[in-house]
Amino acid sequence: MTVYMDHAATSFVKEEALQAMLPYLREQFGNPSSLHGEGLAAKRAMQTAREQLSVILGCSMNELYFTSGGTEADNWAIKGYLQASPEKGRHIITSAIEHPAVLRTCEFLQRNGYSLTVLPVDGNGIVTPESVRAAIRPDTALISIQYANNEIGTIEPIAEIGTIAEERGIAFHTDAVQAVGQLPIKLSELPVTMLSASGHKFGGPKGVGFLYVRSGTKLEPLLHGGPQEKRRRAGTENVPSIIAMSKALSLSEAVDWDRIRRLRDEMETRLKEKIPDILVNGHPTSRLPGSLSVSIKGVEATSVLVYLDLAGIAASGGSACSSAENKPSAVLSAIGVTEPYLSGTVRFTLGEDNTMQEVEYVVDTLAETVKKLRRY
Residues catalogued as catalytic:
321
347 forms beta bridges with 293, 316
Contact of 339 with 325, CB cutoff 8 Å: no
C-alpha–C-alpha distance, residues 114 and 40, integer Å: 43
Is the Cα torsion angle 224, 227, 233, 238 positive or negative in sign? negative
List C-alpha distances in Å: 305 to 236, 308, 309, 316, 356. Answer: 39, 5, 6, 7, 21
For the chain, report the end-to-end CA distance as a whole number of angstroms: 26
C-alpha–C-alpha distance, residues 192 and 139, integer Å: 19
List C-alpha distances in Å: 133 to 13, 122, 138, 195, 213. Answer: 40, 16, 12, 20, 23
148 forms beta bridges with 155
List C-alpha distances in Å: 81 to 118, 214, 329. Answer: 19, 12, 29
Q: What is the dihedral of CA 316, 318, 320, 323, to 10 degrees?
A: 40
Burial class, 87, CB count within 10 angstroms (exposed 0-12 / middle 13-18 / buried 19+): exposed
Q: Which amino acid is at 307?
A: Y
CA angle 47, 148, 268 (to 5 degrees): 125
State the CB neighbour count (10 A cutoff) for residue 28.
Answer: 16
